[in-house]
A = this chain, B = another copy of it.
Amino acid sequence: MQRVELTEKILDIKREKDLTWKQIAEEIGGYTQVFITCALLGNMPLPSAQAKKAGAMFGLSESEVKMLSEVPMRAPDTQMPPQDPTLYRFYEAILVFGPALKETLHEEFGDGIMSAIDFDLGFERQPDAKGDRARITMSGKFLPYKYHSVSDDVQQLGIKPT
C-alpha cells in the first residue's frame, strides 16, 4: 500500500460523506484544521490518538490507521513549479519577495534561517470592505548558523551586525 493510495481513499470517502475539512478537523481534534488537512493529504503524520479517530471516521483498516501515524516521505509528488494557479501564487511570492526576505532576516537576526520544522502556520479570513483577504502567518524559530570553531568552549553561532 502506498501513502498516495490512502490519500485517494480518504478523499473519496470525504466526497461520499459530504464532509468538510472543518468538520473533519473538529471531529479529530487537538490540532489546527490546516495541520490535519496536511496530515490527511500525506505530508504530516497524525499522532496516534488522532489517527484512530480518523480511522473511525473514514472506516480505515488497522494497517491504514498505522500508516497515518508513520513519518511520511513528504511531498513526493508535488509538482514544482506548481501548474495549479492557487499553488503558484505562493511560489510566486517567494520568487518576488524571497531575496528581500533573506536580506531582512539576516539584518535582524544575523546569519541563519527561519526554521521550516519548528514552524507554525496560521490561516484566517481577513474581512475587508474592498474584498476579503486571506491571511497566512508563518512563524519559524530562527536558527543561527553554527561556525566550526577549533575550541568548543566558545559556542560560535551566526554572525550579527552590531
Q: Which A residues fall within an 8 A CB radius of B? A: 1-2, 8, 12, 15-16, 18, 20-22, 29-35, 37-38, 41, 43-45, 47, 63, 66-67, 69-71, 73-76, 78-121, 123, 125-126, 128, 130-150, 156-157, 159, 161
Contact A116 B92 (CB under 8 A): yes
Task: Tell me whether A135 and B139 are in contact in the complex, defined as CB-CB below 8 angstroms, given that A38-B96, A84-B76, A90-B94 are known contacts.
Answer: yes
Number of chain copies forming the complex: 10
Contact A86 B109 (CB under 8 A): no
Given contacts A15-B67, A87-B94, 19 further A-B contacts (CB under 8 A): A1-B8, A2-B8, A21-B103, A32-B148, A32-B149, A34-B97, A35-B147, A37-B100, A41-B100, A73-B102, A76-B83, A78-B95, A80-B83, A80-B95, A118-B143, A132-B141, A133-B139, A135-B137, A137-B137
Contact B113 A101 (CB under 8 A): no
With both chains docked as a complex, state the minimum distance between the C-beta of A38 and any C-beta of chain B, in angstroms: 4
Contact B141 A133 (CB under 8 A): yes
Contact A146 B133 (CB under 8 A): no
Task: Tell me whether A140 and B133 are in contact in the complex, defined as CB-CB below 8 angstroms, given that A34-B101, A89-B113, A89-B115 are known contacts.
Answer: yes
Contact A123 B104 (CB under 8 A): yes
Contact A136 B114 (CB under 8 A): yes
